[in-house]
Every structure is written in C-alpha cells, then in structure tokens.
Amino acid sequence: MEKEVRSSYFKESFARLKTHKLAMAGLIVLSAEILIVVFLPFILPLDPYSTDMGAFSSGIGVGGHILGTDTIGRDIFSRLVFGGRVSLFVGFFSTAVSLLIGVPLGLIAGFVRGAAEAVIMQITDIFMSFPAIILIMVAVAIVGPSVWSVSIIIGLLGWTQFARIVYSKVLSVSQMDYIESAKAIGTGRLSIIMKYILPNSAAPILITSTYSIANAILTESAMSFLGMGVQPPAASWGNMVYEAQSIAILSTKPWIWVPAGMAIVIAVLSINFLGDGMRDALDPKVNI
C-alpha cells in the first residue's frame, strides 16, 4: 500500500513537472548539452589541443574553424565541447560526493540524536561559517589543481546543505505516528531509515542536488578564471573564459571567450529552471 501511494505521488509529481514549461525547456537544453559533449567527439574529428599555425586568433569561420581559434591557434569549438565535458563532470561528480557525505550525516544526526546530533551539527555550522570559495581555493592550492582535485574538494565542502536539509526532514518525519508504530513493533533503525525516512526525504534531496550541480559549475568556472581550477592544456568552460582577462581579447576578440561564457550561462539557467520545476512539482503545498 505504501509503495503504491509513493508511486502515485511521484507519477503525479512528474505529470506536474511536464506542465512546467521552463523546467521542460531546461531539461531539453541540458540533455542536449550532455549529448553533445559526450557523443559529438565520436562523430566529428574534434581536437582541442592541436594548433593551426596559420590561424592564430582567427575569427568565426576562418580556416574552417566554426567558432574561430584562440590565441595559439586551437579550435574554439573543439575546446568548447571538451570543456563542457569537464565542467559538467565537475558539477555532477562533486554533487555526488556531497550527497554521499551529507545525506548519511543528516540521517544520523536527525534519527540517532544525542551526542551524534550535537557533533555533526556543530561541524556543519563550522563549515558553513567560512566562505566556501576561500576554503576551496586554499584546499586546491595545497593539493594542486586538476579536474579530480577540484571536483572532490568542491564535493567535500558542499555536503553541509544536504546534511541540514536531511536533518530537518528527518526530525519532522520521525515524529509521525507510523514511525512510532514501526519502532513499537521492533523494526530496526536501518529498516525505518530505508523504508520511511529516505523516501520522504527524496524530494528535497533531488531539488537541492540540481542547485548544487549549478553551483559547482559556477565555482569551477570562477576558480579556473582565477587560474586555480582546471589547468591548460585541458579545456573547461572556466579556463576558456580566463582568456578574457586580457583587455585586448575582451574588447576585440569576443569569439575566444563569449562561447564558453554563454555555455556556462545556458547550462546553469537550464539546471536552475529544472530545479524550480522539480520544487513546484514535488512540493504538494505549491499546488494546493
């Protein structure tokens, strides 16, 4: 019966999501970006590293380069596609790391309570009291910048929002009569968490995950723009925008940095639109 109710809830939520125009537009655009950056290199001979000696900083369409070339003759379109792989990977992987840390800690703090709750929530408050970008930059400076280090560090420092959301959700759900009944008949803690607590926490976790992905993409872009993110010759949208630090390129050669900047804006907007739609669809109070 419970599974049927839960299945019905998610079916109704998905039906509401399909009527949310901005969310569906965001889903379509994000899906298209993912398909392009993952599969296009298998279809077209894209090379983000080779240089065209006769086309330094050439404009759009010059020398067969769809979006032109950068200051050392590398194809902008190829770097945009491969850079998208890196930026989206950082967004999704770092969010997965945050989930794996924050969700269990939130469950323990909210369900076990006592000393575990006090310690976990104090640590959460300490982490949240520092500017995240400063902590990330310091950590990356210590271990060295790379795709993996940036992804893992963003994930390690982004778990607090998941821990807090799950913690508050567990506190509210654990007061329900069916949880007390489950405890009374001897149901184990792990069974209660898996059968009742986690399914009721799924909606806020999914919504928070979308915003976390968008924030991770922006964080990586900001770090790469400052020269502390993904390092050349590897491409990311952030270190492509890094070229705009030069006034000459910023003002006279927009094809070098505008495509990457637009890709970041489109990806983040698409994810945020999807997150807004999921929030409206999964929260019954919005649709009363």
Instruction: Give me the pLDDT at residue 141, please.
Output: 85
Distance CA 184, CA 18 (A): 41
Per-residue model confidence as pLDDT tens digits over 172-199: 877 777 776 777 777 777 777 777 777 7
Instruction: Give me the pLDDT at residue 286, please.
Output: 44
pLDDT greater than 70 at residue 283: no
Instruction: Give me the pLDDT at residue 32, please.
Output: 93
- Tell me what percent of the residues of the chain surpass a pLDDT of 90: 27
Instruction: Give me the pLDDT at residue 144, please.
Output: 83
Task: Please check whether residue 88 is in contact with residue 267, taking contact to mean a CB–CB distance below 8 angstroms.
Answer: yes
pLDDT greater than 90 at residue 222: no
pLDDT greater than 70 at residue 218: yes
64 vs 25, more confident: 25
Q: Which domain holds residue 38?
A: 2-287
Q: What angle do CA 123, 124, 127 make, to 5 degrees?
A: 85
Distance CA 282, CA 148 (A): 33
pTM: 0.85
Task: Please check whether residue 102 is in contact with residue 170, taking contact to mean a CB–CB distance below 8 angstroms.
Answer: no
Q: What is the CATH number of the domain that holds 37?
A: 1.10.3720.10
Task: Please check whether residue 44 is in contact with residue 67, taking contact to mean a CB–CB distance below 8 angstroms.
Answer: no
Per-residue pLDDT band at 285 (split at 50, 70, 90): low
Task: Please check whether residue 38 is in contact with residue 92, taking contact to mean a CB–CB distance below 8 angstroms.
Answer: no
Per-residue model confidence as pLDDT tens digits over 86-132: 999 999 999 999 999 999 999 888 888 788 888 999 999 888 888 88
pLDDT greater than 80 at residue 287: no
Task: Please check whether residue 98 is in contact with residue 155, taking contact to mean a CB–CB distance below 8 angstroms.
Answer: yes
> Of the ranges 16-25, 46-55, 152-161, 272-281, which one carries the lowest mean pLDDT score?
46-55
Task: Please check whether residue 107 is in contact with residue 225, taking contact to mean a CB–CB distance below 8 angstroms.
Answer: no
The contacts of residue 96 (CB under 8 Å, 6+ apart) are: 155
Per-residue model confidence as pLDDT tens digits over 39-62: 998 988 888 888 766 665 666 656
**Position of tokens 């986690």?**
198
Instruction: Give me the pLDDT at residue 288, please.
Output: 36
Task: Please state, rounded to an integer, the average pLDDT across all residues of the chain.
Answer: 82
Task: Please check whether residue 217 is in contact with residue 264, taking contact to mean a CB–CB distance below 8 angstroms.
Answer: yes
Distance CA 280, CA 41 (A): 36
Per-residue model confidence as pLDDT tens digits over 223-247: 888 778 888 788 888 888 887 777 7
Our count of domains for the chain comes to: 1
**Type of residue at 230:** V
